[in-house]
Structures are given as C-alpha cells and as structure tokens.
Amino acid sequence: MSNQNTGSAPYVLPPLPYADNALDPVISANTLGFHYGKHHKTYVDNLNKLVAGTDLADLSLEEIITSTAGKADKVGIFNNAAQVWNHTFYWNSLSPKGGGEPPASLKQKIETAFGSVEVCKKELATAATTQFGSGWAWLVNDGDKLQVIKTGNADLPLTKGMKPLLTIDVWEHAYYLDYQNRRADYVNAVLDKLINWGFAADNDK
C-alpha cells in the first residue's frame, strides 16, 4: 500500500490479488470486471492526468492524500488518489477463502474492543448499511484501540489519524449488478464469506 509511483512513471492499476471469478458467487466476475477494470482504472487514469507536471507527481499515494485533504483547490486530486488507495485496500480486504475466525492475536483485540467477533461484524454491517449514499465501512486501530467507523465518498481513516485494518466498499457500483438495492445482503455475504481477517491482522502489526 505504499508508493505506487516509481520516479516519473505514472501511477498504475495494481493487479488483483486473485482471479476475477475467485469471489463468485458473493461478488461475480461481472461486478469485479466493471468495478476493478472500469471504476478503479478510471481513478488511476484521472490521478495521472491531474498530477502530471506538478510537484505531487513523485509522491506516494499516502503523501498525496495527506497533503491534499481538506484543500478546496485540490479536491479532485484528493478524491482520485484516495479512491485508488481505498480500492486497492478493499481488494486486499477480501479473500476467496475469507470469513471464519480472525488470527488469534487480532481475535483477542477484537474481543477486548467489541466483546466478540460477532459483535464486531454486526458493527461493521451497521456502519456499512447506514452509510448514507456512497462510502466505506472500516475496522481501524485508533490509538491502539480497535473501532468501526464509516466514511463518505472518498474519505478514509488516513485523514483522521487512524490506521485502517480492513474496509467494505458500499458505493453502489460495488454491489448493484449482483444485489441491486439489497446492500445489506451484499455486506453480510462479504462479512460471512470473503472478509480477510489475515490482512487485517497484518495491518495491525
């Protein structure tokens, strides 16, 4: 998740960590094709156009995000950089062999913070389903305490001094082809079958 720009080379669309049909039937290859191949790619292409020839062009995504957050004249750059970062993080938050129990170290921290893994999942589901409009639900480490937050549009925990562990995308393009307006069904299926607790545990180190 660090610098996806090497010197003067453009930002690139990182490869998916699995085949485009690997998340079937929870997320179809059709949805993944549009979401990754169209939406995510467009954010990468837009970012390259917006930063070309500027002093931002050699920065990491994280540096672009933190240096443009909250600046009205840089909102387009922030939105596209944040969405490139968010989507890359989202793909890694999912796994064809996801769901189940978190690794022991993370499970202990979840139980301390929420009481149980099931309560944590319920809080993630609530955050994801109650986010009005487009946005994200996150499990974050905030000062060494785990909590669930939600953000709107392109916003992300990096702008709030929090460390993201995993995320669920609740923009309509993440689920509409498969679930239409049934966001809750998509969220619950992701949490039960795809959520990558191992990725979250790695981010918590």
What is the DSSP pairing of strand 163-169 with strand 145-152? unpaired
| % of residues, the chain, pLDDT over 70 | 96
Q: What residue numbers does the annotated binding site cover?
A: 35, 87, 169, 173
62 plus 87 within the same structural domain = yes
116 plus 149 within the same structural domain = yes
Question: What is the span of the domain harbouring residue 158?
Answer: 104-203
pTM for the predicted model, two decimal places:
0.94
Give the number of domains in the chain.
Answer: 2
In a domain? residue 5:
no
Residue 151, φ and ψ in degrees, nearest 5: -130, 155
CATH of the domain at 117: 3.55.40.20
Residue 64, φ and ψ in degrees, nearest 5: -65, -45
pLDDT of residue 201: 98
Segment 17-28 shows an average pLDDT of: 97
The whole-angstrom separation of Cα 152 and Cα 6 is 30
Check if the beta carbon of residue 139 is closer than 8 Å to that of residue 172.
no
pLDDT of residue 10: 78
Q: What residue numbers does the annotated binding site for Mn(2+) cover?
A: 35, 87, 169, 173
- Helix axes 117-130 and 183-193, enclosed angle (nearest 10): 150
The whole-angstrom separation of Cα 41 and Cα 190 is 23
Which 8-state DSSP code applies to residue 12?
-
